[in-house]
Structure 1
Amino acid sequence: MSKDFVLDAKNPTPLYLQLADRLRHFIRAGEWRPGEAVPGERELAGLADVSRVTVRKAIEDLVRDGLLIQRQGAGTFVAGRFEQPLSILAGFSEDMQARGLRPGSKWLEKKLARPTPEEAMALALSPGERVVRLVRVRTADGKPLALERASVSERYLPSAEMVSVSLYEALKAQGYRAVRALQRLRADLASPEEARLLAIQPDSAILHIERRAFMSDGTPLEFTRSAYRADQYDFVAELRVDLSEDRV
């Protein structure tokens, strides 16, 4: 396996990113399986002929992506579940690509339509405005992970056919970008329809997530409601102490 670690010193891509891509490939190809411990820093440094600092930065990159987890005193392991930081605003496609996985969609609905009252309120629509409504099962390497229902005003996305894989990429192509979002998470049990579409048993645990994304001027851009498989996804929040005032 050592030959797979050979990095290109002439490549302008930093060595730690090259190494991170190699490790990502091992995980994606199933050479390192969920829950399996990865080689230590010293061993990886020897295999790749790089410093331990380079190895450490590559590992940190994959930990941020949720592909690896570090357990104090035990080592580094391949994550058995997807970990999504709540502090990062990213679309499903961007998230999966960062993990070295192939994002996909099974389309259930893709059309321009009159908004529901809930969509009109969430997107601050004027009377007569329409929305692009996108309903699909989101997949990673063909495996269903989430059922997603997204709505965007027609003024920002004139046609549903503009979305192939990534909604955020389609919006970016039109010159619009979400910079802030509010998300509400709720634990629930899968309905028969959700269970069928997500290939899980009825009444399995799922996470219902409602997202309202905004542009830099505060204008609502996206309203999305999703159902994520709870057996595959963990949403992680980093908490910090407020140091702005004295604490006892």
Structure 2
Amino acid sequence: MSSDAIETIETYLRPGAWVEDAAGPLYVRLRKRIEQGIDSGLLAKSAPLPAEREIASLTGLSRVTVRRAMQELVDRGIIVQRQGSGSFVADAAPRVEQSLSHLTSFTEDMERRGLNVTSEWLTRGVFIPSPEEVMALALSSGEQVARVARLRRAEGRPMAIERASLPTDILPDPELVSSSLYAVLERDGNRPVRALQRISAVNLGAEDAALLGVEPGTAGLRIIRTSYLPNRRVIEYTRSLYRADAYDFVAELRLGNS
């Protein structure tokens, strides 16, 4: 890295409004400051970062605070640490590790990691169901279906496309869903307690790839989720497409009788 680039980063990390005026714990402020530097292009892909002791000296923060911020960046895949070489900006989009053993919403997953979630609505309304929706939701003849489809972003980065279908007695007004679908269902006493998910690899078509900000034909992950109430009634049928470069799905496995 050139001396000019090092000086720019050092200037960028010096204390200022990002520490004094921002809200939240100091390690979160530092983490967001580094993320903003990466998003703006100040810190390019594969660029080395100053050592933790240097960052502590530049920012006036403790080594413990700096270490915690850096560890969060590592956990999210935003930076990588190489033994004996230091820390570097990751080459690809940050990866999110998502457990397959807990039934949570995208909003809950991202907010638990401290990521800001935004959505772009693609569809939201009541429609005549497709044959696939009739079968999946066990709908009767003449029933309609509520659909909510949106592009999900974390910290402004496209992460997933979710297309959810629900019976209209469970979700009579899809316009009520402003952020978390599960929050609306929980408020009405209809949050699912169990789900079956099927994950498969796909090559993204042109339309979905454009929404996710990748090239057509890029590898993606398709997840089909069928969710149930305690009485075993199916109330949610969701088809999602995830960026394969942004997600790691993790499941804990146990030996038979253990």
Q: TM-score, normalised by structure 2?
A: 0.69
Paired residue for 1:52? 63
Q: Secondary structure at the match of 1:45?
A: helix
2:168 aligned with 1:154 = yes
2:181 aligned with 1:167 = yes
Alignment: residue pair count: 241
Query: 1:103-142 counterparts in 2 under 5 A?
Result: 103-107=118-122, 109-120=123-134, 122-123=136-137, 130-139=144-153
Which of 208, 217, 230 is the equivalent residue of 2:222?
Answer: 208
From the superposition, tell whether residues 224 and 75 of structure 1 become closer, same or farther in structure 2 (CA, over 3 Å): farther
8 A contact 2:117–2:152 mirrored in 1: no
Deviations for 1:150-197, whole angstroms, at most 9, x for unmatched residues? 123333322111123443444355455456654322112233443455
Query: 1:23-102 counterparts in 2 under 5 A?
Result: 23-79=34-90, 80-87=92-99, 90-93=104-107, 98=113, 100=115
Rg: which structure is higher? 2
> C-alpha separation between the residues in 2 aligned to 1:163 and 1:64?
30
Q: Secondary structure at the match of 2:95?
A: strand
From the superposition, tell whether residues 154 and 141 of structure 1 become closer, same or farther in structure 2 (CA, over 3 Å): same
Q: Which amino acid aligns with 1:63?
A: V
Paired residue for 2:7? none
> C-alpha separation between the residues in 2 aligned to 1:243 and 1:7?
51
Greater displacement, 174-183 / 109-118: 174-183
8 A contact 1:96–1:103 mirrored in 2: no
8 A contact 1:5–1:48 mirrored in 2: no
Paired residue for 1:228? 242
> C-alpha separation between the residues in 2 aligned to 1:36 and 1:218?
51
Which ranges of structure 2 fall in alignment gaps of 5 or more residues?
1-11
Deviations for 1:206-229, whole angstroms, at most 9, x for unmatched residues? 221223345677665532212234
> C-alpha separation between the residues in 2 aligned to 1:188 and 1:106?
23
> C-alpha separation between the residues in 2 aligned to 1:21 and 1:146?
22
From the superposition, tell whether residues 35 and 139 of structure 1 become closer, same or farther in structure 2 (CA, over 3 Å): same
Shift of 1:133: 0.9
8 A contact 1:214–1:222 mirrored in 2: yes
From the superposition, tell whether residues 31 and 70 of structure 1 become closer, same or farther in structure 2 (CA, over 3 Å): same
Deviations for 1:108-137, whole angstroms, at most 9, x for unmatched residues? x32223444543554466776543212334
